[in-house]
Every structure is written in C-alpha cells, then in structure tokens.
Amino acid sequence: PLDLSYAHTGVFQEMVKSECQFINGTDRVKFVKRFIYNREQYMHFDSEVGLYMGDTPYGEKVARYWNSDPEWMEYRRDAVDRHCRHNYELSSLFLVER
C-alpha cells in the first residue's frame, strides 16, 4: 500500500527560468538562467560573470561542480549568442515595434 503520511503528500516544485535582457538592441545582451526549488532560488548563471553562482549552500555545491567542466561552461557562455541574439533577430520584426 502507498504511504500517504503528511511527510509524503507535499507538493514540490523545481523550476528553471531563462531570460535575455537587451540593452540597446543586441549591442549589450545579458543572459540569466535561474534555478528555483520551492520558490527559493538556489543557483543562477549570469553571462556577465560567466559562471554559475550558488545562492544557497546546496547551490554553491552544484555551481562548483558545473563551473569545473570547461566544455559545459563554454556551451553556457555561448547562450547569449545562440539563444538571446538569435531569437532577437527572429522576433524583433514583429515584437520590437509593439
């Protein structure tokens, strides 16, 4: 039988949010990726810093691990061009003028 005691009936939420911040078109672009668990941001990546940064003790541990992988970090740093600037070019024709 399934144990439905109080400790096992909670709702847990993990969320990852990515955002691109455009200053003066694509001249200056900032990419931020936030990692949130139960409404608490535990880690984030900021393209201006170029590293993952832990916001909680657990996030610091995960950030150290991800920052230690040069190939992964290169991929993440390229997100500004691959994700932000690319999508800006695709959507600016119908969104910027609104």
What pLDDT, on a 0 to 100 scale, did the predictor assign at position 6?
Answer: 57
Task: Indicate if the pLDDT at residue 52 is higher than 90.
Answer: yes
For the record, the structure tokens of 85 come out as: 């600037």
The domain 15-93 having CATH identifier 3.30.70.3000: the answer here is no
Q: What is the pLDDT of residues 3-47, one digit of tens each?
A: 655 555 677 889 999 998 888 777 888 999 999 999 999 999 999
Percent of the chain whose predicted confidence (pLDDT) is above 90:
55
What pLDDT, on a 0 to 100 scale, did the predictor assign at position 94?
Answer: 72
What pLDDT, on a 0 to 100 scale, did the predictor assign at position 7?
Answer: 59
Task: Indicate if the pLDDT at residue 1 is higher than 60.
Answer: no
